[in-house]
Chain A
């Protein structure tokens, strides 16, 4: 186990360095002088020069990259040029909202995916099976931001059942969480359904049935437990995917998290803020995926031995 853990963690280093390379290239590739863009037209040459030094703009790509990684490790991601606040402060303020939304969506996807998957896997060819297929196909064909707007239109504008966006109480969480959860639900349901269908044809199920175990116990105690193993990995990986989805869903629902902060930063060309948010979200994404891998290795010994 120790070796497996070390192997997984060792992967972290090149991946994180690669992500930092992409985000630190942003300022390098921006046409024109980023210091001028950040400070605006009214800046004095002295101010621009000071910012150029602070952002390491007088160095080459490699020098900037090293400096950026060094600053980031010390918790310094620069300042937003719009609010003049440190990027880390802006990000810290937005993290709780994003965490709340992503985790709720994740739980919804797990519960909904498992329920639908079991229903479809138990009796192939029924309505539940069609629903799972539809959801799975829809999950990769329906743009999540469009789905969110559609739900706002139906549930808020037409039926007046739920608020259109913003925060405040559970009712504000319902639509964004469902929107964010739909694609993941389809994928999880598909895996559970496939797993259930396969498990119910396994020898141990026939043996259990032959010795008179009730159907209900067979489904839940035997088949379900085996069927969810692949679904658990997928579910874990979906938590990482949700972090990409929040950018779009938060924008649609005016949810005050990292995603909306990023959308606004893009609109204002707030380069350092964009750079910082992408870095934080991407690093979280990678960390979550590695944690999932490690957890999976603990659950299923076949993985870490192979």
Chain B
């Protein structure tokens, strides 16, 4: 990696941490909360007191962005955790077992990978009813096959190494080998996968909530805020622009921080 690439990655990591801190400390940063209305102060332009202005209900836009970070990270982490647990378990199991288990599991994953994600997520959330947890489930389900592939290739890479064969010979069980030998070695690609997936999960969540299928009002969901702000684009464009910038910064940070190969051009 070039020196510029390393710098970008470090910067991205710092931004990523900042977003997480903002999300965790949201009640301290914006004590009035994301849903406190004040109709007399509706649609104020940015200025002292309301650094990003107020929306049509007089809610502070900055508070909604900050609490939106909390909401979107909750959904993204849930989705990725689900994808990693289910997909990772499936992938490690397929990779360690080999044979027909491996063949069947991976063919199944190929089929799911051929699905168009957003459309399937729309179908799933329509069925379950809109809401943040259903969105998280739909996004997590989409991440399962990719997670399975990453875990499987890690298992295949390590399972025939001498030290693992030796552990088998010494009488270690499969679970012990997985936990003590395979998992620690396979962690690096899984960490990269987690970072990239968090970025994707945030984008999908924004798309679903923009379509009205994610977290429901008055929850401060970035995608829904963009959709609601469209009606006031000429009055206070910041209502639409700010949540978009928040998404871009967050997703770019998660992506760039976790990619190992950067800035070749």
Report chain B residues within 8 Å CB of A141.
199, 203, 247-248, 251-252, 255
Chain B residue numbers with a CB within 8 Å of A243 are: 116, 119
| From A132, A140, A241, contact of B203 by CB (8 A) | A140
The reply to whether B117 and A146 contact each other, CB–CB distance below 8 Å, is no
Measured CA separation A152–B230 after assembly (Å):
10
For the complex, is A226 an interface residue (Cβ under 8 Å from B)? no
Q: Tell me if B115 counts as interface (CB < 8 A to partner A).
A: yes
Give the complex CA separation of A197 and B126 in angstroms: 46
Q: Is the CB of A26 within 8 A of B200?
A: no
Q: How far is the CA of A152 from the CA of B256 in the complex (A)?
A: 29
Question: Which of the candidate stretches A39-47, A214-222, A263-271 sits at the interface with the other chain?
Answer: A263-271
Selected from B128, B256, B265, the residue in CB contact (under 8 A) with A193 is: B265
When distances are taken between beta carbons in the complex, the residues of chain A under 8 Å from B118 are 244, 247-248
Is there an interface contact between A22 and B226, defined as CB atoms closer than 8 Å? no
The A8-67 residues at the B interface (CB cut-off 8 A) are 11, 14-15, 18-19, 22-23, 25-31
Whether B223 contacts A26 by the Cβ 8 Å rule is no
Bound-state Cα–Cα, A241 to B110, Å:
17
Query: Which positions 229-265 of chain B face chain A at CB distance < 8 Å?
Result: 230, 233-234, 237, 240-241, 243-244, 247-248, 251-252, 255-256, 263-265
Of A18, A125, A130, A150, the contact of B112 (CB 8 Å cutoff): A18
Any A CB within 8 A of the CB of B213: yes
Docked-complex contact A152 and B233, CB < 8 angstroms? yes
Query: Known contacts A244-B119, A274-B126; is A286 also within 8 Å of B114 by CB?
Result: yes
Min C-beta distance of A270 to chain B, whole Å: 10
Q: Which residues of A contact B20 (CB under 8 A)?
A: none
Check B240 against A282 for contact (C-beta < 8 Å).
no
Q: What is the 8 Å Cβ interface bit string for chain A, positions 274-299, against chain B (1 contact, 0 not)?
A: 11001001100110010000000000
Closest to A144 in B: B207
Q: How many angstroms between the C-alpha atoms of A48 and B111 in the bound complex?
A: 36
Main secondary structure of the interface of B (DSSP, over half): helix
Judged by a CB distance under 8 angstroms, whether A143 is at the interface is: yes
A251 to B240, CA, bound (A): 15
B11 within 8 A of A: no
Shortest Cβ distance from residue B64 to the other chain A in the assembled complex, whole angstroms: 16
| Contact yes or no, A26 B265, CB < 8 A | no
A263: chain B residues at CB < 8 Å are 211
| Beta-carbon contact of A149 and B230 below 8 Å | yes
A residues in contact with B247, CB < 8 Å = 141-143, 146
- Residues 112-170 of A contacting B (Cβ, < 8 Å): 120, 124-125, 129-130, 132-133, 137-138, 140-143, 145-146, 149-150, 152-153, 157
Pick from A145, A266, A267: contact of B226, CB below 8 A: A145
A90 proximity list for chain B (CB < 8 A): none
Find residues 222-281 in chain A having any chain B CB closer than 8 Å to their own CB. Answer: 240-241, 243-244, 247-248, 251-252, 262-263, 266-267, 271, 274-275, 278, 281
Instruction: Check B106 for interface membership: any CB of A closer than 8 A.
Output: no
Chain B residue nearest to A284 (CB atoms) is: B116
Whether A278 and B252, one on each chain, are in contact in the complex, defined by CB atoms closer than 8 angstroms, is no
| CB atoms of A25 and B127 under 8 A apart | yes
**Interface of chain A: mostly helix, strand, loop or mixed:** helix
Contacts of A149 in B (CB 8 A): 226, 230, 233, 240, 244
Distance (Å) between the CB of A296 and the closest chain B CB? 15
A15 touches B114 (CB 8 A): yes
Q: Contact: B123 with A248, CB < 8 Å? A: no
CA distance A180 to B233 in the complex (A): 21
Write out the residue numbers on chain B whose beta carbons fall within 8 Å of the beta carbon of A271.
126
Residues from chain A with Cβ under 8 Å of B199 in the complex = 140-141
Query: Which residues of chain A are near B122, meaning CB under 8 Å?
Result: 247, 262, 266, 274, 278
In the bound complex, do residue A18 and residue B248 qualify as a contact, i.e. CB atoms below 8 Å apart? no
Chain A hits for B265, CB < 8 A: 120, 124-125, 129-130, 132-133, 193-194, 197
- The reply to whether A143 and B223 contact each other, CB–CB distance below 8 Å, is yes
- The distance from the CB of B201 to the nearest CB of chain A, in whole angstroms, is 12
Whether a CB of chain A sits under 8 angstroms from the CB of B98 is: no
Determine if B86 is an interface residue (Cβ-Cβ < 8 Å): no
* Shortest distance from the beta carbon of B234 to any chain A beta carbon, whole Å: 6
Q: Determine the distance from Cα of A251 to Cα of B233 in the docked complex, in whole angstroms.
A: 16
Asked if B210 is an interface residue, CB under 8 A from chain A, the answer is yes
A250 to chain B, nearest CB (A): 11
Chain A residues, CB < 8 A from B111: 11, 14-15, 18
- Per the bound structure, the CA–CA distance linking A122 and B223 in Å amounts to 39
| Nearest A residue to B12, CB-CB | A137
B-to-A contact residues, CB < 8 Å: 107, 110-112, 114-120, 122-124, 126-129, 199-200, 203, 206-207, 210-213, 223, 226, 230, 233-234, 237, 240-241, 243-244, 247-248, 251-252, 255-256, 263-265
Q: What are 15 A-B contacts defined by CB distance under 8 Å?
A: A11-B114, A15-B114, A30-B127, A140-B200, A141-B203, A141-B251, A143-B244, A149-B233, A194-B265, A240-B116, A244-B118, A274-B122, A274-B126, A285-B119, A286-B115
Query: Which 9 residue pairs of A and B lie closest in terms of their CB atoms, listed nearest first?
Result: A146-B244, A29-B127, A129-B265, A141-B252, A244-B118, A26-B127, A285-B116, A141-B251, A278-B123
